[in-house]
């Protein structure tokens, strides 16, 4: 069985891994402890494993880990920390956009990517931006409200 | 599975064949390998071949590099202006996480009957460019899909670009993806229509169909009812009936074959009316 040594950074930490050719980025990240990246459908349908790969939001289950050699990966814990939450995280708490919480890491990553590209999204922009992330608890309404509020919060922060 | 990252197109071609598969975005291939639907001896990673990632206007055509992503289509002014059905199909394609990785060539090479980009590309007379160690060849997309998940590309061939005719002021077009939810859905039926008008006469008609046969295809019989005609209700009805007749849909979890066939007629009728700005087309 072929194994390969690869290097990448996760939330600014350099990682060196021995990987198999067919191993996915999702499984490799979880194997070395980044279990905030959630394993669910493994088919690109649910978005629970969303990460930023060189700044682009992708499903970690749809990438061979060897393809990520040399890349910068950001998980939900790189978007914000407990002591320094990203506005999306703050507003998900504030608006009640988290119930069971399983989809939340992916939602945060997709919402951050959306707001980085489009700081003043309409409701439709937000719905489209999160279209690859399934949530079975909230009905999405409070999630959309949270992203909208996060956009306003970031704009006000930027103006001050 | 062996993994090899190609640093150039030549290196990719040299590593092809013998059970190898090219992997770009991986959105189809990675889960196919994970779940054992595809066994490959070697994945040849082409995802960093930036020379294959472009969208450009050249010699009156639009050339789309094999590795242009679906997000790249949405970000392209050229696609938005000169390939509206392709732009609209990209809007309906999966969700942003998949669009950011999935490549145009990957969508075609995967050869799903429901490949979202196929109907609009067919409606703009797409030609695919294939490269191998023996040289390059071009093939109309309408001759590329041979049978269910089977293409004319040989195992050692790499798709390098897709070339389409830009739409201009004489062209009228419309696209619709019938799907069971608003995102992340596999098409029940996909239809793209393009009509080139000379005054009130239709000079050229192109109708691309998806998810209603073993392969995406051009509805030639329906087109024949429009080409060279002044299009009125009678021509539209004849084209819609021919589109429904020509479909070879299957029953599956998303819809029955009978429903799909009926929708072929309904959608072709609506899209022709929409493209021509005729009334009663608001439903699409």
> Searching chain A, which residue's CA lies closest to the CA of residue B36?
A22
Residue B207 lies in a domain: yes
> Searching chain A, which residue's CA lies closest to the CA of residue B39?
A22
> CA–CA separation, A104 vs B224, rounded Å?
52
Residue A72 phi, psi dihedral angles, 5° rounding: -105, 125
| Residue with the two structure tokens 């790189």 | A78
Residue B101 in this model has a pLDDT that exceeds 60: yes
pLDDT at residue B217 in the model: 98
3-state SS, residue A81: coil
Q: Given pLDDT bands bounded at 50, 70 and 90, which one contains residue A157?
A: confident
A-chain CB neighbours of B31 within 8 Å are: 42-44, 61-62
- Please tell me the distance in Å from A83's CA to the nearest CA on chain B: 28
Residue B283 lies in a domain: no
Number of domains in chain A: 2
Per-residue model confidence as pLDDT tens digits over B173-216:
999 999 999 999 999 999 999 999 999 899 999 999 999 999 99
A-chain CB neighbours of B42 within 8 Å are: 21
Residue B281 in this model has a pLDDT that exceeds 60: no
Do residues B196 and B257 both lie within one domain?
A: yes
Burial environment of residue B237 by CB neighbours within 10 A (0 to 12, 13 to 18, 19 or more):
middle
Residue ending a domain, choose from A29, A57, A78: A78
Per-residue model confidence as pLDDT tens digits over A20-63:
999 999 999 999 999 999 999 999 999 999 999 999 999 999 99
pLDDT at residue B279 in the model: 80
- Candidates A123, A131, A133, A147: best to mutate against B (most CBs of B within 10 A) is A131
B2-5 and B42-45: which strand pairing? parallel
pLDDT at residue A160 in the model: 46
Do residues A65 and A130 both lie within one domain?
A: no
Q: Identify the domain containing residue A55 by its residue range.
A: 3-78
CATH code, B184: 3.30.390.50
Residue A129 in this model has a pLDDT that exceeds 70: yes
Do residues A72 and A106 both lie within one domain?
A: no
pLDDT at residue B49 in the model: 98
Do residues A74 and A16 both lie within one domain?
A: yes
pLDDT at residue A2 in the model: 84
Residue B9 lies in a domain: no
> Searching chain B, which residue's CA lies closest to the CA of residue A114?
B96
Q: Given pLDDT bands bounded at 50, 70 and 90, which one contains residue B280?
A: low
- Candidates B1, B40, B97: best to mutate against A (most CBs of A within 10 A) is B97
B-chain CB neighbours of A112 within 8 Å are: none
Per-residue model confidence as pLDDT tens digits over A83-103:
999 999 999 999 999 999 999
Structure pTM?
A: 0.96
- Tell me what percent of the residues of chain B surpass a pLDDT of 90: 96
- Candidates A18, A54, A58: best to mutate against B (most CBs of B within 10 A) is A58
Per-residue model confidence as pLDDT tens digits over A67-80:
999 999 999 999 99
Q: What is the mean pLDDT of chain B?
A: 97
Per-residue model confidence as pLDDT tens digits over B122-156:
999 999 999 999 999 999 999 999 999 999 999 99
Do residues B77 and B176 both lie within one domain?
A: no
Residue B284 in this model has a pLDDT that exceeds 70: no
Per-residue model confidence as pLDDT tens digits over B111-126:
999 999 999 999 999 9
- Tell me what percent of the residues of chain A surpass a pLDDT of 70: 98
Residue B139 lies in a domain: yes
Per-residue model confidence as pLDDT tens digits over A10-24:
999 999 999 999 999
Residue B226 in this model has a pLDDT that exceeds 90: yes
Question: Touching check for A21 and chain B: CB below 8 Å?
Answer: yes
CATH code, B143: 3.30.465.10
The neighbour count for residue A119, using CB atoms within 10 Å, is 12
Q: Do A132 and B98 touch (CB under 8 A)?
A: yes
A-chain CB neighbours of B26 within 8 Å are: 62-64, 67
Residue B222 in this model has a pLDDT that exceeds 70: yes
Do residues A35 and A95 both lie within one domain?
A: no
- Please tell me the distance in Å from A156's CA to the nearest CA on chain B: 27
Residue ending a domain, choose from A47, A78, A109: A78
| Residue with the two structure tokens 């939330």 | A11
Do residues A93 and A37 both lie within one domain?
A: no
Residue ending a domain, choose from A61, A78, A95: A78
Complex prediction ipTM: 0.97
Residue B185 lies in a domain: yes
Do residues A92 and A154 both lie within one domain?
A: yes
Q: Identify the domain containing residue B182 by its residue range.
A: 171-276
pLDDT at residue B205 in the model: 98
Residue ending a domain, choose from B164, B192, B226: B164
Do residues A69 and A94 both lie within one domain?
A: no
The span from the first CA to the last CA of chain B, in angstroms, equals 46
CATH code, A40: 3.10.20.30
Number of domains in chain B: 2
Q: Do B96 and A42 touch (CB under 8 A)?
A: no
Question: Touching check for A131 and chain B: CB below 8 Å?
Answer: yes
Q: Given pLDDT bands bounded at 50, 70 and 90, which one contains residue A159?
A: low
Do residues B145 and B175 both lie within one domain?
A: no
Per-residue CA distances from B181 to B95, B107, B152 (Å): 12, 20, 32
A-chain CB neighbours of B45 within 8 Å are: 64, 66-67
Do residues A15 and A74 both lie within one domain?
A: yes
Q: Do B31 and A20 touch (CB under 8 A)?
A: no
- Please tell me the distance in Å from A30's CA to the nearest CA on chain B: 16
CATH code, A120: 1.10.150.120
């Amino acid at each position: 069985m072929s194994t390969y040594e690869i290097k990448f950074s996760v939330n600014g930490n350099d990682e060196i891994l021995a990987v198999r050719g067919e191993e996915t980025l999702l499984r490799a990240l979880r194997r070395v402890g980044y279990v905030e990246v959630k394993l669910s459908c493994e088919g690109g349908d649910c978005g629970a494993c969303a990460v930023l790969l060189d700044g682009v939001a992708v499903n970690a289950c749809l990438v061979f880990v060897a393809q990520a050699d040399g890349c910068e990966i950001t998980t939900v814990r790189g978007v914000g920390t407990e002591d320094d939450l990203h506005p999306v995280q703050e507003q998900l708490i504030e608006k009640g956009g988290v119930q069971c919480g399983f989809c939340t890491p992916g939602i945060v990553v997709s919402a951050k990517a959306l707001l980085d590209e489009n700081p003043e999204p309409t409701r439709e922009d937000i719905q489209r931006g999160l279209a690859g992330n399934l949530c079975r608890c909230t009905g999405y309404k409070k999630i959309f409200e949270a992203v909208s509020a996060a956009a306003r919060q970031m704009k006000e922060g930027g103006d001050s | 599975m062996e993994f090899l990252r190609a640093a150039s197109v030549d290196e990719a071609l040299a590593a092809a064949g013998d059970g190898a598969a090219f992997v770009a975005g991986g959105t189809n291939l990675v889960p196919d390998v994970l779940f054992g639907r595809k066994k490959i001896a070697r994945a040849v990673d082409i995802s960093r071949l930036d020379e294959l990632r472009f969208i450009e206007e050249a010699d009156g055509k639009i050339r789309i590099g094999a590795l242009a992503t679906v997000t790249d289509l949405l970000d392209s002014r050229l696609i938005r202006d000169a390939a509206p059905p392709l732009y609209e199909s990209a809007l309906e394609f999966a969700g942003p996480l998949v669009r950011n990785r999935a490549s145009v060539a990957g969508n075609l090479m995967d050869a799903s009957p429901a490949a979202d980009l196929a109907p609009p590309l067919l409606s703009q007379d797409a030609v695919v460019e294939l490269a191998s160690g023996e040289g390059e060849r071009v093939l109309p997309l309408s001759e590329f899909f041979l049978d269910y998940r089977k293409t004319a590309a040989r195992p050692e061939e790499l798709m390098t670009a897709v070339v389409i005719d830009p739409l201009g002021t004489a062209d009228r077009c419309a696209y619709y993806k019938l799907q069971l939810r608003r995102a992340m859905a596999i098409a029940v039926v996909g239809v793209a229509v393009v009509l080139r008008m000379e005054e009130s006469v239709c000079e050229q008609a192109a109708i691309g169909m998806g998810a209603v046969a073993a392969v995406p295809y051009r509805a030639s019989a329906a087109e024949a009812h429009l080409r060279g005609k002044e299009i009125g209700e009678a021509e539209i009805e004849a084209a819609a009936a021919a589109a429904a007749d020509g479909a070879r849909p299957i029953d599956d979890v998303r819809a029955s074959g009978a429903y799909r066939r009926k929708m072929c007629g309904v959608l072709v009728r609506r899209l022709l009316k929409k493209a021509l700005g005729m009334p009663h087309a608001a439903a699409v």
